[in-house]
Chain A
Amino acid sequence: MATSNDPIEARLALLREVSWNRPEHRRQLEEKLMLGVSDRAKWWGWLTTKAALFLGIVLLGGMAAGATAAWIYDSIRVEPGESDGHGNCRFVITDDATGEQETTEFLPEDSAFFTIPNDDGEASTVIAVGADGSGHAPPSPPEPPPKDEK
């Protein structure tokens, strides 16, 4: 703390006598600040409401997606159907939840990939269903030519 014996400190001590008392400014600034608090509170409330809404949408979307995935995997089975011998496929056979089987012909706008496990269970065949309703298996790599035994 300052000691008045020091000339610098004594001169600086003169500033202690300076006070600040501006009632009008104090009132105006307080009003401005309180409006700021209100705006912040509104913003916080808005954020809380939006966050709750967003969380609800995420939860509902997650539940819907889970239910849809469960329905797809549990009740639809994709099989090659009839083939022309080159991997082409025109029908998808589905088993619904009651065990009934339905054969569906592709609509022209349908386009998707289906993976069908082979009989040996180790590999699978991918069938691409085109927009024209045709199904095509990806071309298999050519088999290497047999080696001549010497």
Chain B
Amino acid sequence: MDATFPIVALRRLTDDGSISLRGDAVRDPEHEARLVERARHDREAFAALYREHYAAIGAYLFRRSGDVHATEDLLSEVFLAALRGLPRYRTRGVPFRNWLYRIATREVNRWALRERKRPERLASPSEIMDTRKSADSDDRAWVQRCLLAIAPRYQAALTLHYVEGLSVDEVARTLGCRPGTVKSRLARGRAALDRVMRTRR
């Protein structure tokens, strides 16, 4: 592996004038479509996509799992799956990040289902989200445990909508379901989370 690769990639992508690595430019649909098209066979373009979305997808997975090691493993699975699935990826109005959200949701849902069979882990997550011991971090860890106690499909809908800030339509496109289904999952998920929070406080 060339240690100077990221710098080289940055220079080569910006020299041609067609693609910028600034976040706003990459999120531009046309620029992003071009970058994704290049990324199918160009490792530098894929590296640019990876760097653009690494933190956001990592944060989503960390918010869902609350486990550093699990998040690292899940991130690897997500981007490897994206790399494998990139030739089949079609934009169809869904931004690349939402496609990554979909893959990440699938992976973390599977992880959550596995974890539900291990109640000792749900009772005390191995990794606390914030190493600083504070009331806020305790609250976040508590919310995290409550969230993990409900069905993964409700976790996904609630997190994507209320935490990641996606609209109902965007959540629907990301999860590949109808907006009505998302609304239903949000309502049921809220009720389930409320019940869990009342019992675990």
Contact = CB atoms under 8 A, between A and B. Distances in A.
Nearest to A40: B83
A41 B83 CA distance: 12
Given A12-B158, A17-B136, A33 B47 contact: yes
B51 interface: yes
Main secondary structure of the interface of B (DSSP, over half): helix
Given A18-B129, A33-B47, A37-B46, A1 B165 contact: yes
B143 A11 contact: yes
A19 interface: yes
Size range of the chain A interface in the assembly? 20 to 34
B89 interface: no
Interface of B: 1, 5-6, 41, 43, 46-47, 50-51, 54-55, 58-59, 61-63, 68, 71-72, 75-76, 79-80, 83, 129-130, 136, 139-140, 143-144, 147, 158-159, 161-163, 165, 167, 190, 193-194, 197
Nearest to A27: B6
A39 to B, nearest CB: 10
Given A31-B1, A33-B46, A20 B143 contact: no
A1 B167 contact: yes
Contacts of A26: 51, 54
A12 B46 CA distance: 32
B106 to A, nearest CB: 18
A137 B194 CA distance: 92
B163 A13 contact: yes
B63 A2 contact: no
A15 B190 CA distance: 15
Given A1-B167, A20-B71, A22-B58, A15 B143 contact: yes
Contacts of A13: 162-163
A25 B139 CA distance: 27
A35 B1 contact: yes
The 8 closest A-B pairs by CB, nearest first: A20-B58, A37-B43, A20-B59, A12-B162, A2-B162, A15-B63, A31-B1, A15-B163
Given A13-B162, A37-B83, A18 B63 contact: yes
Interface string A1-38: 11000001101111111111110011001111111111
A113 interface: no
A79 B61 CA distance: 82
A20 B139 contact: no
